[in-house]
Amino acid sequence: MRPSLMRSTSQLLRRRSYSSASGQPERKVAILGAAGGIGQPLSLLMKLNPLVSSLSLYDIAGTPGVAADVSHINSPALVKGFMGDEQLGEALEGSDVVIIPAGVPRKPGMTRDDLFNINAGIVKNLSTAIAKYCPNALVNMISNPVNSTVPIAAEVFKKAGTYDEKKLFGVTTLDVVRAKTFYAGKANLPVTDVNVPVVGGHAGITILPLFSQATPATNALSDEDIKALTKRTQDGGTEVVEAKAGKGSATLSMAYAGAVFADACLKGLNGVPDIVECSFVQSTVTELPFFASKAWEEWS
Ligand code: NAD
Ligand code: LMR
């Protein structure tokens, strides 16, 4: 046997035994907007996730390079890059989880609603393709304004006859990540032990961190401290937008938060019990049709 063939055969064998050794089902994750500020670090983090067997990186430009780069990392997920409308179907086909960070970010002085005109159209087109090519996938919506892009996706899926409210999530994990960090810092608690539910929506005062339900509880914080922590969590996105001074919004912390949420989705799909994450979903908790709250689901 020629050396190159020997190498490819042994790689194949290693891959097969690796997959059966892990005992996990094969899972395909697609990232739409994978060449962007969030998309690139999120692609890296999903490539490192052992629950991912196939990673599909889609964007309107730049994905061949991102995919080539990420694909050299020696973790099990097989990476493929897709670019442009004509490759969107192939990128999505067979996906278990689709993560959407496609769209424009804020600049200083803008609200998330100012992104609506551009991002609504992007999300509508991508959701139409999801309904066609992977109607059963769990959809993790990152594109802003989340309070509007999630209902847009829901309407597209309803029109296509594929809507399942248990499979559409607005990703609000960054609000939780920020609330945990700020609470732990102020209360002088080990940040990895801290949990803080955040409910409501993902814009300004609709972001409602429930510090009264934070764990571990503390009596080190005054009412004024809680007020300040609440405001900082609500303004966390703006804090980053202003610090980046025109060069976009949160990307690295968002990629981390997106990876945490996608991992929870994969675990849920794989039947891991008691997976709980806050996210913006169709809801009966209030009179609002969509509301972020603690969601406990087993998707399998
Ligand atoms: P970015 O401009 O760096 O990247 C966006 C990417 O989307 C680009 O690569 C662009 O080519 C791609 N894109 C545009 N149209 C597309 C389409 N039709 N199909 C596929 N890809 C397309 O922006 P970013 O910093 O990565 O932010 C992306 C979005 O995420 C923004 O709307 C931002 O407001 C939002 N965001 C949400 C949260 C959250 O907590 N949910 C946090 C941070 C940012
Ligand atoms: C965030 O919370 O960081 C994102 O929604 C991006 C933004 O525009 O603030």
pLDDT in tens, the chain (300 residues): 222 322 222 333 333 223 445 678 999 999 999 999 999 999 999 999 999 999 999 999 999 999 999 999 999 999 999 999 999 999 999 999 999 999 999 999 999 999 999 999 999 999 999 999 999 999 999 999 999 999 999 999 999 999 999 999 999 999 999 999 999 999 999 999 999 999 999 999 999 999 999 999 999 999 999 999 999 999 999 999 999 999 999 999 999 999 999 999 999 999 999 999 999 999 999 999 999 998 755 444
Q: Which ligand 1 atom minimizes the distance to the CA of 146?
A: 41
Closest by Cα among 263, 261, 247 to 177: 261
Other C-beta atoms closer than 10 Å to the C-beta of 189 total 18
Listing DSSP states for 198-239 in one string gives: EEE-SSGGGEEE-GGG-BS--SS--HHHHHHHHHHHHTHHHH
Atom 8 in ligand 2: residue holding the nearest Cα: 106
Asked if the structure places residue 19 within a domain, the reply is yes
* Ligand that comes closest to the CA of residue 85: 1
Domain range spanning residue 256? Answer: 10-171+250-275
Asked if the structure places residue 3 within a domain, the reply is no
Q: Which ligand 1 atom minimizes the distance to the CA of 173?
A: 40
Asked if the structure places residue 256 within a domain, the reply is yes
Asked if the structure places residue 152 within a domain, the reply is yes
Asked if the structure places residue 164 within a domain, the reply is yes
Give the residue, out of 111, 144, 150, 239, with the most ligand 2 atoms within 8 A of its beta carbon, to mutate for a pocket test. 144
Asked if the structure places residue 2 within a domain, the reply is no
Is residue 106 within 6 Å of ligand 2 at its C-beta? Answer: yes
Asked if the structure places residue 205 within a domain, the reply is no
Give the residue, out of 31, 57, 144, 169, with the most ligand 1 atoms within 8 A of its beta carbon, to mutate for a pocket test. 144
Chain centre distance of CA 177:
13
Instruction: Tell me how many domains the chain contains.
Output: 1
Rounded to 5°, angle at Cα 118 from 100 and 55: 20
Spell out where 2-154 has E strands: 28-32, 54-59, 78-83, 97-100, 138-141
d(CA 96, CA 28): 5
d(CA 153, CA 128): 8
According to DSSP, the β-strands at 207-209 and 198-200 are antiparallel
Q: Which residues of 233-243 are buried (b: 16+ CB within 10 A; e: fewer)?
A: bbbbbbebbee
What are the angstrom distances between the C-alpha of 70 and each of 63, 138, 267? 10, 23, 23
Q: The domain that contains 68 carries what CATH number?
A: 3.40.50.720
Asked if the structure places residue 183 within a domain, the reply is no
83 contacts 62 by C-beta, under 8 angstroms: yes
Assess whether 72 carries a catalytic annotation: no
Is residue 241 within 6 Å of ligand 2 at its C-beta? Answer: yes
